[in-house]
Amino acid sequence: MLMENSIIYTVRGPVTGSELGFTLPHEHIMVDFGGAETAGKHRYDASNVIEVMQPYLQDLLDQGAQTLIECTPNYLGRDVEIFRILSERTGLNIISNTGLYNNQYLPSYAHDSSAEKLADGWILEFEHGIERTGIKPGFIKTAVNPQPNVLDLKLIHAAALTHKATGLTIATHTCTAVAAEKIVAVLETNNVNPSRWIFVHAHLEPDPSRLITLAKAGVWIELDGLAWGGDAEHAQTLLKLLDKGFEDQILISQDAGWYNIGEENGGNIIPYTRLKEEFLPLLRKQGINNDIIEKITCFNPAKAFACRN
Ligand SMILES: [Zn+2]
């Protein structure tokens, strides 16, 4: 598949894979940890969020990045109108999502709805845009517990159905290989190729041999916790994956940001600039050449988030 032919939906409309450039595949602009019962636009002042977050995005852009993938799901702080304004003002591509998180961040209807019914709602967001904005989601975001429960796996089933109807990639907050293996089983039962799924927070799995097994099954291994330290551990896991020949299935990001709703001016915000400033020099020091770095930071995200079945 040529990058020029692949389509990815940003909050300002579709772009081709080659237009993504240097991409951070897992970051947050705004998060509301209040829970699904209270979440909503009444909880924050959009103009303050924009004013606070714009300089952080500008710093990232000034480093040469072109795309930020915003991984905050609905009921947890997803506001595509804010993202569109920030994208228009800075020129940075921002990609949002459809789907749902887990536990207290799930609205009550998610407990009672079937996977098919949940998928219908997500497909509608893709076809008509999110919350009457006309803005399409660029991927499907879900989350599971370290030991996924029945409800978690129902949401994965809904994500599989949504993927088949839309071609959107699925990214799941997963953390453990045991959860990843259960997710892959649900995807395969629904005839979704594991290569259309991203194992989010894969760096938290302590056993690299299990990551290798999952990579062999075709999944994307996302090492995305650089905002929280552990650069050496991220690099070690990445080197092991490279050593086994999986350079085409690695994504790296920071999980940085964000405007924390409920805190004055968003509280303590972690900049988006660490990956380029600290982690890439560390990789170069360990002998990883620029071709590989370009593949992992530009080409792989374009391939991973391409909208296709
Ligand atoms: Zn995250």
pLDDT of residue 3: 72
Question: Which amino acid would we find at residue 58?
Answer: Q
Identify the band that residue 309 occupies on the pLDDT scale cut at 50, 70 and 90. Answer: confident
Question: Residue range 139-148: average pLDDT?
Answer: 97
Alpha-carbon span 16 to 25, nearest angstrom: 16
Q: Which tokens in the block code for residue 255?
A: 């999980």
- The string of DSSP letters for 141-169 reads EEE--SS--HHHHHHHHHHHHHHHHH---
Centre of ligand 1 to C-alpha 224, Å, is 8
Cβ-based neighbours of 5, under 8 Å, separated by 6 or more: 16, 17
Q: Which residues, at least 6 apart from 255, have a Cβ–Cβ distance to it below 8 Å? A: 26, 27, 28, 201, 224, 225, 226, 227, 228
Contact between 97 and 137 under an 8 Å Cβ cutoff? The reply is yes
Residue pointed to by tokens 């940075």:
92
Distance (angstroms) between ligand 1 centre and the Cα of 82 equals 18
Report pLDDT for 2. Answer: 62
* Residue 95, φ and ψ in degrees, nearest 5: -120, 130
- Distance between CA 136 and CA 139 in Å, rounded? 9
6-55 tens-digit pLDDT: 999 999 999 999 999 999 999 999 999 999 999 999 999 999 999 999 99
Which pLDDT does position 173 carry in this prediction? 98
What average pLDDT does the structure give for the chain?
97
Report the CATH superfamily, name and number, of domain 3-304.
Metal-dependent hydrolases (3.20.20.140)
* pLDDT tens per residue across span 153-167: 999 999 999 999 999
Task: Kindly tell me the sign of the dihedral angle through the C-alpha atoms of 197, 200, 203, 207.
Answer: negative
Q: Give residue for tokens 């803005």.
A: 135
Ligand 1 centroid from CA 116, angstroms? 26
Is-above-0.95 flag for pTM? Answer: yes
Calculate how far, in angstroms, residue 49's C-alpha sits from the geometric centre of ligand 1. 18
Query: Of 136, 179, 187, 138, nearest to 160 (Cα)?
Result: 187
CB neighbour list of residue 95: distance below 8 Å, 6 or more residues apart? 8, 9, 10, 11, 67, 68, 69, 70, 138, 139, 305
Comparing CA positions, the residue from 108, 38, 105, 31 lying closest to residue 70 is 31
As a whole number of angstroms, the distance between CA 14 and CA 254 comes to: 24
The closest alpha carbon to 170, from 273, 307, 29, 33, belongs to 307
Q: Ligand 1 centre from 91 Cα, in Å?
A: 23
41 CA to centre of ligand 1 in angstroms: 20
For residue 229, the CA-to-ligand 1 centroid distance in Å is 14
Distance from residue 72's CA to the centre of ligand 1 (Å): 7
CA atoms of 39 and 100, how far apart (whole Å)? 13
Reported confidence tier of residue 1, pLDDT bands at 50, 70, 90: low
Written as one letter, the residue type at 83 is F
* Average pLDDT estimate for 217-232: 96
